[in-house]
């Protein structure tokens, strides 16, 4: 089954259960200025869950384009390192707005996985929230999942990928327990079952998350049962496609293989398993859809996230020896792979190509010199573990290397950046700019320094997590 058929089967299944098929919304959330990107299927329904917005339906299903490259959800640093994380992916979901609840949500999910997609039941594991006996009993008694494969998960704050089976929209408002479904990709892959110390591996992969919105949390943190509880679920299309296509990694599915081959063609890389090709294939999807949704590369906010992802892709091309603009050429291949599901992509393809090309040309002017400086700094002494902040700042300020790009290169070599040094260098530069501009105001000295744009770094959300 190819990705398009898997997507369609999901939507058809839930349509047959009385759900209205709702189109994917933009990556730029229309209803929430505090959210950088649409990062899941429920985003366009937020106000429906709280009751602020009313729709003519109480059941919906969608395949939502989602981006996790900034803000609360950021998987940029996982791309190229795990088999299951992308920046851009599609989230298949079914939603109940005060209509059905736990029992139906669980039965629907099981029916789809085992009867429509025909997954072998012995490969499936489920987790429930530690205190959610109701969900536990439905899985164990009604569905008949053996208790050895049902794991209770509590609050697990702070773990990098690890499960935390309690979901909340914000500090106050709708919240509730989750139940996640995992697929066991086989004993030859490292990683332990959910809830175990080595669950971060890629053996047991989470495919579907069912969220039961059961409570309303008030200002004092007290949970009040919602009169009409709701359901929000999300399943990664690429992850279920990997399972159904009998491959382990998301990057081996039909859709990604097309893009990886295209990236190999444009970079003249012969090794289709090269990690940089995966990163480039991931990034072309993110970048093209960001431009499609009206974002252009810039110095702050969403535009800076886009710029950073484009530059990371270019740097991976550079690493493969491609020093000419190549990234924008992949838009054509992306249209072939995804244009049918997203007709706008094909319509906008010339504009998207032009925007990416311009950014490539811009970075193309400085990357080579920047890479030379970085290379020299990284090899200045044997066994060096940290790149000095001065150099990282110079690359940022003069050569257009976002800090996370430099950090990514350092990480490949087991090195890190002296961030305090970077911040100090930035502060010094700011002081100088301030002093120069106050001289200028007095009219005594004409400031002729280069214009320095700090906005990008200042407004970069949660810089710590980006690193």
Stretch that binds ligand ATP, among 22-30, 84-92, 270-278, 364-372 (CB under 6 A): 84-92
Q: How far is the CB of 464 from Mg ion (least distance, A)?
A: 17
Q: How many CB atoms lie within 10 A of CB 434?
A: 10
Residue among 46, 59, 86, 319 that touches ligand ATP (CB under 6 A): 86
* Angstrom distance (rounded) from CA 279 to CA 330: 13
Here the tokens at position 345 are: 């992509």
Residues in binding contact with ligand ATP, number by CB under 6 A: 18
User: How do 88-96 and 124-129 pair as beta strands?
Assistant: unpaired
Contact with ligand ATP (CB under 6 A) among 70, 236, 325, 456: 236
CB of 458 to ligand ATP, least distance (A): 26
User: Angle, to 10 degrees, between the axis of helix 275-292 and the axis of helix 349-364?
Assistant: 120
Q: How far is the CB of 431 from Mg ion (least distance, A)?
A: 39
138-197 positions binding ligand ATP, by CB under 6 A: 161
In the complex, the smallest distance separating the C-beta of residue 162 from Mg ion, rounded to whole angstroms, is 7
209 binds ligand ATP (CB under 6 A): yes
Count CA atoms closer than 13 A to 415's CA, side-chain side: 23
Binder of ligand ATP out of 132, 232, 238, 408 (CB under 6 A): 238
Among residue numbers 192 through 231, which ones bind Mg ion (CB under 5 A)?
206, 209
Which one of the spans 10-18, 236-244, 335-343, 379-387 is the region binding ligand ATP (CB under 6 A)?
236-244
CA proximity to 311, closest of 366, 380, 254:
366
Q: Answer for the pair 425, 393: CB distance below 8 angstroms, yes or no.
A: yes
408: which 2 tokens?
Answer: 């990514």
Distance between CA atoms of residues 435 and 396, nearest Å: 21
Piece in contact with ligand ATP (CB under 6 A), picked from 200-208, 298-306, 332-340, 363-371? 200-208
CB 178 within 8 A of CB 167: yes
Q: Is the CB of residue 152 less than 8 Å from the CB of residue 128?
A: yes
| Count of residues that interact with Mg ion, criterion CB under 5 A | 2
Q: Which of 213, 235, 244, 284 binds ligand ATP (CB under 6 A)?
A: 235
Nearest C-alpha neighbor of 163 from the set 192, 140, 190: 192
Instruction: Point out which residues bind ligand ATP (CB under 6 A).
Output: 40, 68, 75, 84-86, 89, 91, 161, 206-209, 234-236, 238-239
Instruction: Point out which residues bind Mg ion (CB under 5 A).
Output: 206, 209
């Amino acid at each position: 089954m190819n990705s398009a058929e898997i997507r369609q089967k999901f939507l058809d299944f839930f349509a047959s259960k009385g759900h209205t098929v709702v189109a994917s919304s933009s990556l730029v959330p229309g209803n929430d200025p505090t959210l950088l990107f649409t990062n899941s299927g429920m985003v366009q329904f937020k106000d429906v869950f709280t009751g602020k917005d009313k729709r003519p339906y109480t059941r919906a299903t969608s395949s939502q384009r989602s981006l996790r490259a900034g803000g609360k959800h950021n998987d940029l640093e996982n791309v190229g390192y795990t088999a299951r994380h992308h920046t851009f992916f599609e989230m298949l979901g079914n939603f109940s707005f005060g209509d059905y609840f736990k029992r139906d949500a669980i039965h629907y999910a099981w029916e789809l996985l085992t009867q429509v997609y025909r997954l072998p039941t012995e490969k499936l594991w489920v987790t429930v929230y530690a205190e959610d006996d109701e969900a536990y009993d439905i899985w164990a008694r009604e569905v008949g999942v053996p208790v050895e494969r049902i794991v209770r998960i509590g609050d697990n704050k702070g773990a990098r990928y690890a499960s935390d089976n309690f979901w909340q929209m914000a500090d106050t408002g709708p919240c509730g327990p989750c139940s996640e479904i995992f697929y066991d990709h086989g004993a030859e892959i490292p990683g332990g079952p959910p809830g175990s110390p080595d669950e971060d591996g890629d053996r047991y992969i989470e495919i579907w998350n069912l969220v039961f919105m059961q409570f309303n949390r008030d200002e004092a943190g007290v949970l009040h049962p919602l009169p009409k509880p709701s359901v929000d679920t999300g399943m990664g299309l690429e992850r279920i496609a990997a399972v159904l296509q009998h491959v382990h990694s998301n990057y081996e599915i039909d859709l990604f293989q097309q893009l990886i081959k295209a990236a190999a063609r444009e970079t003249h890389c012969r090794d289709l398993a090269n990690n940089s090709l995966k990163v480039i294939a991931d990034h072309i999807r993110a970048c093209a859809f960001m431009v499609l949704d009206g974002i252009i590369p810039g110095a702050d906010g969403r535009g800076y996230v886009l710029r950073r992802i484009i530059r990371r892709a270019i740097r991976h091309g550079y690493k493969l020896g491609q020093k000419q603009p190549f990234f924008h050429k992949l838009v054509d291949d992306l249209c072939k792979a995804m244009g049918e599901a997203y007709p706008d992509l094909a319509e906008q393809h010339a504009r998207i190509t032009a925007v990416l090309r311009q950014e490539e040309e811009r970075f193309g002017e400085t990357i080579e010199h920047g890479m030379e400086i970085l290379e020299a700094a990284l090899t200045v002494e044997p066994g060096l573990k940290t790149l000095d902040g001065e150099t990282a700042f110079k690359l940022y300020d003069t050569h257009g290397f976002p800090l996370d790009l430099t950090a990514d290169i350092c990480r490949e070599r087991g090195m890190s950046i002296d961030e305090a040094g970077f911040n100090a260098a930035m502060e010094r530069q700011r002081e100088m700019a301030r002093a120069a501009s106050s001289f200028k105001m007095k009219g005594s000295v004409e400031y002729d320094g280069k214009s320095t744009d700090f906005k990008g770094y200042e407004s970069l959300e949660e810089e710590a997590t980006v690193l």
